[in-house]
Chain A
Amino acid sequence: MKRLLALLFVAALAVLLLFLVTKMPSLGDPDNPARQGMATQYLERSPEDTGAQDAVTAVNVNYRGYDTMGKVGIIYCALMGVLAVLGREKRGRIQARLDGARVAPSKIVEVMVRFVIPFIILFSAYVIIHAEISPGGGFQGGAIIGASMIIFTTIFGLQEASRRMPQGLRVPLEGSAIMTFFVLGVLGIAGGGTFLTYAWPRVSTSIQPALANWLSVIVEMAIGIGVGFALISILFAMMREEEDLEPVA
């Protein structure tokens, strides 16, 4: 009965939404209202304004810098929420039930993971640093770093992973992204512009484009490291077991 009611409700919603879809401008129309105004301005002016060839990166880091700072803050707040719910990590070794699993992962898997992880991290560095001239960026690269460490943790166990990435290393790097944003924003004010101005008016105009380019690369790198380590710490907090579970040998 409950299922039937839910189905009826969802079907009514689907009919309503599909009716609205028929009233929308057709797909891929270059004269789409969403493509007028702001979007065309971004596309035409971003190479001169920001020095970034990729319009998505230009909008993300430069035109919508506040937005991106908020995004980094969201990831950090999510991490703090997870730690508040599941409890703070104690200093020293942490472990999961997975570490004591009776069936060890096969040798082939271990060797392959060891072999593949450096290449995954290299690819994430490429995605982050190449964001100015090709699709990519800090969030995507950070997610790839996080994914490589998640593979490592699921194969080698939480104890080994937390030995490689101790709390003392993760905690400063998690906050590095939002901290870098804040410091660069204040430096923009000191350089004579407003908060998060990359082309500082006080420096000579000849080095302004290069400065703006390098500052946005630094911001992308900080975002990548911050997001990657926040994802790793969220995983560690979820896999961690309570203290009173007996430690595995």
Chain B
Amino acid sequence: MNLSHNYLYAAAMLLFCIGLYNVIVRRNIVKKLIGLNIMETSVFFFYISLGYTRNGVAPVAGAGADPTRMVNPVPQVLVLTGIIVAVGVTALALSMVILLHRKYGTLDTDQIMRMARQEETQAAREEGN
């Protein structure tokens, strides 16, 4: 019964699991990255809902706002950090994906692994000769 009260937390958890499923199952690297971004979004959502206060107001002083009724500002600041890290991770991962696509001409992880293994065995054979 507590689950129906904490429906925002439950939604964040389900979103996290959807993202994780995408990361595991998809073979296209860009789709894997989208799954990773869904997971990150679920974490942001969870943090922001932790800061929610019933009948709360924005944490802006002035105009006679009551500090006891304001929502919690700390999760908002921490989510800002999280978003920055997510942007950095996504940018770096996408640039590596661009390199992989330039080298192998595909985004399929299984094919890339197969090609990389073939290259490795070929290099080893040449070394043996």
Contacts and interface: CB of A to CB of B under 8 A. Distances in A.
A85 B74 contact: no
A243 interface: no
Interface residues of A, number: 61
Contact of A7 (B21, B77, B94, B96): B21
B64 to A, nearest CB: 12
A21 interface: yes
A34 B75 contact: yes
Contacts of B115: none
A238 B90 CA distance: 12
Majority secondary structure, B binding face: helix
A71 B80 contact: yes
B121 interface: no
A34 B56 CA distance: 15
A152 interface: no
Contact of B24 (A6, A30, A34, A60): A6
B118 interface: no
A20 B23 CA distance: 23
Given A18-B10, A38-B74, A39-B73, A139 B54 contact: no
Interface string A212-241: 000000000000000000010010011000
Interface string B49-78: 111111010111110000111101111110
Interface stretch (A41-49, A108-116, A153-161, A192-200): A41-49
Nearest to A28: B54
B13 interface: yes
A201 to B, nearest CB: 24
Among B16, B77, B95, the most chain A Cβ lie within 10 Å of the Cβ of: B77
Given A43-B70, A74-B84, A238-B94, A60 B77 contact: yes
A70 B78 CA distance: 12
Interface in A52-83: 53-56, 58-60, 64, 67, 70-71, 74-75, 77-79, 81-82
B105 interface: no
Contacts of A78: 87-89, 91-92
Interface string A1-31: 0110011011101100110011110111110
A59 B20 CA distance: 32
A122 interface: no
7 contacts: A3-B25, A28-B54, A39-B74, A43-B59, A54-B59, A71-B84, A74-B85
Interface of B: 2-3, 5-10, 13-14, 16-17, 20-21, 24-25, 49-54, 56, 58-62, 67-70, 72-77, 80-81, 83-85, 87-89, 91-92, 94-96, 98-99, 102
Given A60-B77, A78-B88, A79-B91, 4 more contacts: A35-B51, A47-B62, A58-B73, A64-B77
